Chains A and B, each alone.
Chain A
Amino acid sequence: MSLQFLLNGLVNGSMIGLGAIGITLTYSILRFSNFAHGDFMAWGAYAALAVVGVLGGSTPLKPLSFGWPLMTALVVAMALTALLALVLDWLLFARLRARGQSIIVVMASFGASMALRNLLEFVFTSRPAYYSRAIQIAMPLGLGIKITADQIALLLLTVVLVTGMHLFVQRSQRGREMRAYSQNPALARVIGIDVDAVVRATWIIGAALACASGVMVGTLVQLRPLMGLDLLLPIFAAAILGGIGSIPGAVLGGLVIGLSEAAAVQVIGAEWRAAVAFVILMAVLLIRPMGLFGVAER
């Protein structure tokens, strides 16, 4: 049996984990399941494609399949996706949150998701798009596993983003405020935490990481307007498996889901891949609803 699925699962799990961070932050701080999060990934990926188009093509930085334009586009697209999330919150979610019924916000996120997806399809069509069509030569790692330069770069990017995110949440005052608000919103207000600033930080971080995840998918696979919808179940499963509110949990959950999907493809067939996240999600909800790192509701 080839062990290549381990590497494939790790890479896929990184993308899922980055997406799951946004889901877990939104749920624990804003207290709703944002079903438009997958579309932030797609919008981020397409925003990067648009920026690459504006910057123009350039010679790839060998052995990578991409060059400086995509790297620059990633940063710009992360900012644009964060802006999209802030605008959506201002237009829609904030007004509904103020009414205090989270189910209405959840349903609104369904609507926003469809609107964003269709808009993306309208602008970019449903045909797959690519950042680069350069062919990558995989390098052998041993044990029959091969890895491409793009995969190494994107795994490193994941490590950098997750480490930076973890340090931000644990060490910075805004990060402490986000954790405090997720634990007790009323007390957070009493001690002087600016709730609006916490909400903004949550959207900015979640959307920027969703964009990074989307660009990774676009780099390693392809861009499609439905790419966010396809990733929605795995990222929710990862966030719930890791424990809502836990960033390390979301990343670990993403890796578990990614590896499980890759193992399913290897062992029982590619047609079962999509079912894996669903099975894991159901199992976690039935056996340990608080997830791996979550805390039981008191």
Chain B
Amino acid sequence: MIANLELLAGYPVLGLDLILNGLLIGAVFALAAYGMALVWGVMNIINIVQGELVILGGYIAWAAVGAGVPPLLCVPLAAFALGLLGWGLYGTVIRRIIERDLFISILATFGMSILLQQLMNQVFGADVRTVDSGFGTLSLMGGMVTVAQVKLFAFGLALLTGVGLWLFLSRARLGQAIRATAQNPRAARVLGIDTDRTYAATYALNAALCGAAGSLVVMAWTIHPYIGLQYTVRAFMIVIVAGLGNVAGVVFSGLGLGALENLAGFVLGAEFQVAFVFLLMVLVLIVRNLILSRRRSYLR
């Protein structure tokens, strides 16, 4: 660990490489986090199955590429497939837990997460998968900093999707219905908004976002049936730091998390990177709560 720190101090450009790559994956984290904030804010559900939806999106893209679909087309394809799945999940499970207390919804979505995880393991196997997108690698500063172009592409697409979503929520009729329902479901119902449909659309939209994020993950990085929960926790952490309904906050904390995690993974050793993510989440919760408790309050 000390040796790694010395290495980093000796070659700051190495840190730049880590941070840059971290920022790029951070955009994908932010995408999943945005979906989580949407579901949390509108439906008051903490969607623990979020990460599995991301990974499933990745598997769909992987399967599609295997079947001969060009990689770029896989992003909308995965988003569409996951959107459909999200609609179905809403109809079967989510709509029944929406008015229940948060323990029930956490446990139910956790159950869904285990179900999907095991299903993916059963269907796609336990191997680590990735997709070759056919992009090259960008070398900067005489080869000290290397960035796979596909990561740049993923970064751009993630931001673009975020902007599109933001426009949708502020301009489109359905988007406005979603925001109205988030603020006051009863008032929205009185005003003639079909809240059940709005919830379904919100959940499907979230699943589609996860699908898109997953297809980017499988192209630029790797996937595995059991790593979904990491994406859930990252999304959760980003939402806690940024707050609900704060798009810029989500993007910046997503990017920050990506960079921090990459640096920590290098310093502590790659085997502890995931532990770092989870401990950081616990730490974020505790610190936020401590700050609040000095103001005689607690995290609500």
Do these two chains really belong together in a complex?
Answer: no
* Residues of B that sit less than 8 Å from A by CB: none
